[in-house]
């Protein structure tokens, strides 16, 4: 094989990585809020196909916030001292790291100070989960469940992002979900999960189904989702009632929830900002249920519709 043929062969072999990289660039650009109008439209189409990437964008934003926080010196003093020691021991040799931009993909060369800061940020991020768990051990309430911060953040980010999307685009819910009739939900959920979970007393409790189908809750278990509308607080003029989301996942023991108890799922190191929708979680008969809504009355009505108790702890 000639050199030109070999080069062309290698080029054809890299087509798939280029596609993956384009997705990464798009999601990073969204996290940086640097997308053009055309790229915003491309992102919207992409998220229609892969709604789970909302969580990727949220994680990228959290990553940037963590790095910014570390640069302001908010990491624990002991961690900063350790990073300083590592930085002092490192050689000053430059390192090339690929970090593609949305529009181009140059290979930037990072000088010694930037390399030191990258090490510092990485250690701060890796240590944050362990630091939070150590800080929480021994001080939690009796009903609290200790969950690794990374898992907690992934769950809160994913569920909140999906619910927020339904709040903003409520008129599109029926078009996006395959199942829109309540009577079809048990069959669809059983197909995905292998058995039928409890779908509550939805209609009797003042709700109507807007859509249901598979989803991708973080974790090992398969999962499904229902989006409900409260009919009790719908405006007389015909507007929407409060939106309620219920995610149901096979229980693989990752959360170690006690059956019969309901918990609040809270990301304890989330950045301050607009109040997120509250999330209730409980385990029953081999499934974990995640309930969320921005309406407290609708949330309590839905909790009662699914036979869940008042929350008595947090995870």
Phi-psi region of 63 (alpha: psi -120 to 50; beta: other; left: phi over 0): alpha
Please tell me the predicted confidence (pLDDT) of residue 257.
Answer: 92
Buried b (16+ CB within 10 A) or exposed e, 262-295: bbebebebbeeeeebbbbbbbbbeebbbbbbbbb
In 60-148, DSSP assigns E strands to: 95-98, 107-110
Domains of the chain: 3-136 (no CATH), 149-314 (3.30.200.100)
Q: Quick one: tokens of 169?
A: 């685009």
Report the chain's C-alpha Rg in angstroms.
23
Please return the burial class of 121, using the count of CB atoms within 10 Å of its CB with bins 0-12, 13-18 and 19+: buried
Please tell me the predicted confidence (pLDDT) of residue 309.
Answer: 94
Please tell me the predicted confidence (pLDDT) of residue 108.
Answer: 42
Please tell me the predicted confidence (pLDDT) of residue 277.
Answer: 81
Please tell me the predicted confidence (pLDDT) of residue 75.
Answer: 54
Please tell me the predicted confidence (pLDDT) of residue 130.
Answer: 42
Please tell me the predicted confidence (pLDDT) of residue 273.
Answer: 52
Asked if 280 contacts 272 with a C-beta cutoff of 8 angstroms, the reply is: no
Buried b (16+ CB within 10 A) or exposed e, 193-212: beeebebbebeebbbebbbb
Please tell me the predicted confidence (pLDDT) of residue 78.
Answer: 58
Please tell me the predicted confidence (pLDDT) of residue 150.
Answer: 81
Q: Give dist(CA 274, CA 144) in Å, integer.
A: 25
Per-residue pLDDT of the chain (315 residues; tens, 9 = 90+): 444 444 444 443 333 334 446 888 888 888 887 888 788 888 888 888 887 788 788 777 777 666 555 444 455 565 556 556 655 554 444 433 343 444 444 444 444 444 445 545 554 544 444 444 334 444 455 666 777 778 888 898 899 888 988 888 877 787 888 899 999 999 999 999 999 999 989 889 999 999 999 999 998 899 999 999 998 887 777 778 899 999 999 999 989 899 899 999 988 766 555 556 899 999 999 999 999 999 999 999 999 999 999 999 888
């Amino acid at each position: 094989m000639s050199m030109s043929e070999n080069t062309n062969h290698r080029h054809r072999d890299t087509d798939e990585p280029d596609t993956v990289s384009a997705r990464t660039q798009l999601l990073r650009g969204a996290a940086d809020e640097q997308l053009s109008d055309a790229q915003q439209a491309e992102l919207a189409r992409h998220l229609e196909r892969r709604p789970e990437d909302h969580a990727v964008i949220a994680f990228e934003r959290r990553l940037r916030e963590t790095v910014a926080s570390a640069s302001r010196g908010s990491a624990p003093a002991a961690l900063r001292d350790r990073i300083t020691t590592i930085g002092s021991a490192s050689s000053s040799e430059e390192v090339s790291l690929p970090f593609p931009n949305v529009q181009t993909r140059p290979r930037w060369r990072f000088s010694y100070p930037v390399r030191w800061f990258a090490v510092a940020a990485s250690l701060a991020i890796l240590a944050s989960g362990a630091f939070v768990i150590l800080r929480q051990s021994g001080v939690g309430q009796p009903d609290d469940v200790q969950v690794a911060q990374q898992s907690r953040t992934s769950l809160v980010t994913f569920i909140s992002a999906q619910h927020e999307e339904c709040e903003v685009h409520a008129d599109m819910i029926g078009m996006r979900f395959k199942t829109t009739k309540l009577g079809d939900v048990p069959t669809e959920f059983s197909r995905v999960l292998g058995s039928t979970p409890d779908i509550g007393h939805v209609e009797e409790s003042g709700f109507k189904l807007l859509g249901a189908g598979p989803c991708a809750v973080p974790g090992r278990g398969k999962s499904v989702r229902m989006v409900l509308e409260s009919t009790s607080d719908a405006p007389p003029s015909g507007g929407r009632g409060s939106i309620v989301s219920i995610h149901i996942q096979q229980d693989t023991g990752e959360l170690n929830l006690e059956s019969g108890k309901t918990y609040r799922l809270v990301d304890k190191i989330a950045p301050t900002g607009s109040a997120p929708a509250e999330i209730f979680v409980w385990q029953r008969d081999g499934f974990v249920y995640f309930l969320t809504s921005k309406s407290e009355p609708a949330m309590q009505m839905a909790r009662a519709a699914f036979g869940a108790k008042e929350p008595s702890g947090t995870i």
